Amino acid sequence: PLYAQIGDTPVSIARYRSAMQRGHDSADVYNNLAWTLLEAGRLSDAQQTIQLGSQAHPGDQRLAATNAVLLYHAQQPGEAFDAFETLYGTAAAHHNLAILDLESDDVEGALEQLALATSSPNCPVQAIEMQNALTAEFNRQRVLTARRQASKTH
Instruction: List, for residues 63-122, the tens digit of each pLDDT value.
Output: 999 999 999 999 999 999 999 999 999 999 999 999 999 999 999 999 999 999 999 999
pLDDT (mean) for 17-40: 92
Residue 108: name the closest of 79, 141, 84, 86 by CA: 141
| pLDDT of amino acid 67 | 98
- Taking alpha carbons only, the member of 34, 138, 76 closest to residue 26 is 34
Using DSSP, how many helices (H) and how many strands (E) does the chain show?
9, 0
Can you give the pLDDT at residue 4? 52
User: Counting beta carbons within 10 angstroms of the beta carbon of residue 121, is it exposed (0 to 12), middle (13 to 18) or buried (19 or more)?
Assistant: exposed
pLDDT score, position 63: 98
Residue 151: per-residue pLDDT: 82
| pLDDT tens sequence across 39-71 | 899 999 999 999 999 999 999 999 999 999 999
Name the percent of the chain lying above pLDDT 90: 73
Q: What is the pTM of this model?
A: 0.85
pLDDT single digits (tens) 132-150:
999 998 888 888 888 888 8
